[in-house]
Amino acid sequence: MPTTSDAYVPSPLTILSEEERLFQQSVRRFARERLAPHVREMDEAGHVRDDLLRELFELGLMGIDVPEEFGGQAGTFFQSILAIEEIAKIDPAVSVIVDVQNTLVNNAIERWANHEQKKRYLPKLATSMTGAYALSEAQSGSDAFALTTHARAAGDQFSISGRKLWITNAVEAGVFLVFATVDASAGYKGITCFLVEPRTPGFRIGKKEDKLGIRASSTCELIFDGCLVPRANVLGETGKGYKIAIETLNEGRIGIGAQMTGLAQGALEHSLRYARERRQFGKPIGEFQGVQFELAEMAVRVEAARLLVYNAARLRDAGQPFVTQAAMAKYYASLIAEEVASKAVEIFGGVGFTRDYPVEKLYRDAKIGRIYEGTSNMQKAVIARALFESVR
């Protein structure tokens, strides 16, 4: 057994205030007690349980930094990151639902909506309504602003036509932030963001994707065919959609970093427990140096990812520049999540390759981290550009 001096001590950046620690503990308790028993069932069904989604709202986890006047918890962005990380330790699919709600949808509406829009949507988003963020299209993934979905002015309305792909929370959403171009000749400056409700005529949800991982999180195609949206539902200003997208995605990447860090921590914890339980040659496999070294490397990588994520989140809350740090956090956390989950499968051996144990699912869930909200190559491009600008 380790002595006190041998025990792992958190790094300064991972030390939380008392309020943050209590918040983290409450989310951890919910994830372990309420979420964990249903993870496999939801993965196989490809659907999050309605009762668990309601509990996310009841606990305030879908409106963490929404102001109290709009029914939210008036928390911080950093608390959102803590919640995303804790839930991802148990189920990254549920974690991304909380992530999109807080770092993209609520965040964009808080910053860009007028007072009437805030009064209409934020109380619902904080207490009962899931939101979705509809930017991606078949030909506009990494090139996010190569949109073909267009919006034509029609009196006091806009008529939206086009298709969106890979939209998270699409099945459950009560409001969609839809990006469309109102003036193709203006390039990215013609892009506008609209608040669109699912029952709007001319709008329907298309194919639900059958995915490798994060299966309980719905991911669907959206189809717009002359969808009439009131001018009052323009978020921000006409032509400012690109700015809304850039700013929210920069923050969303910290959320993905937290999701991937939580996933990796979950894989590490499963591995540690199994290494103590599984016996070979008369002793637990955790007593073999080869296994110990693997676990040590996993722990170092998880800690490094957590420091990057927390640093980016703290910078954001402090109003300091954080875009490069967000890209670093997202890039590295998604990289190590895949590596750590893979090592976890190997530590479990043959049973790790089966669905009877949780590490197989974490390995499948990890892959998307290097793809959505900006691929790894896009993050490296952001980081490299910042490096060159720093030496001018």
Q: What is the mean pLDDT of residues 350-357?
A: 96
User: 3 falls in which pLDDT band (50, 70, 90)?
Assistant: very low
- For the four alpha carbons of 108, 110, 115 and 121, in that order, the dihedral sign comes to positive
User: 200 falls in which pLDDT band (50, 70, 90)?
Assistant: very high
Residues in contact with 377: Cβ distance below 8 Å, sequence separation at least 6, in sequence order: 142
Full DSSP string of 171-208? TTEEEEEEEEES-GGGGGGGEEEEEE-TTSTTEEEEEE
Collapsing DSSP to helix, strand or coil, 17 comes out as coil
- Indicate the pTM of the whole model: 0.96
Collapsing DSSP to helix, strand or coil, 282 comes out as coil
Collapsing DSSP to helix, strand or coil, 154 comes out as strand
Pairing of the two strands 130-134 and 173-181: parallel
CB atoms within 10 A of CB 72: 22
pLDDT of residue 6: 62
| Domains of the chain listed by start with CATH number | 12-129 (1.10.540.10), 133-240 (2.40.110.10), 243-390 (1.20.140.10)
Beta bridge partners of 337: none
pLDDT of residue 56: 98
Q: What is the mean pLDDT of residues 282-288?
A: 97
Q: What is the mean pLDDT of residues 290-316?
A: 98
Q: Which residues are catalytic?
A: 373
DSSP class of 137: B
Q: Which two tokens stand for residue 354?
A: 């089966």
Distance CA 277, CA 360 (A): 18
Measured in residues, the chain has a length of 392
Instruction: Give how far the C-alpha of residue 51 lies from the chain's centroid of Cα atoms, to the nearest Å.
Output: 21
Nearest to 179 by CA among 238, 123, 99, 125: 238
Q: Which two tokens stand for residue 298?
A: 């996993």
CA angle (121 as vertex; 115, 124 as ends), nearest 5: 135
Distance CA 383, CA 392 (A): 15
Q: Which two tokens stand for residue 213?
A: 């991982």
Q: What is the mean pLDDT of residues 240-267?
A: 97
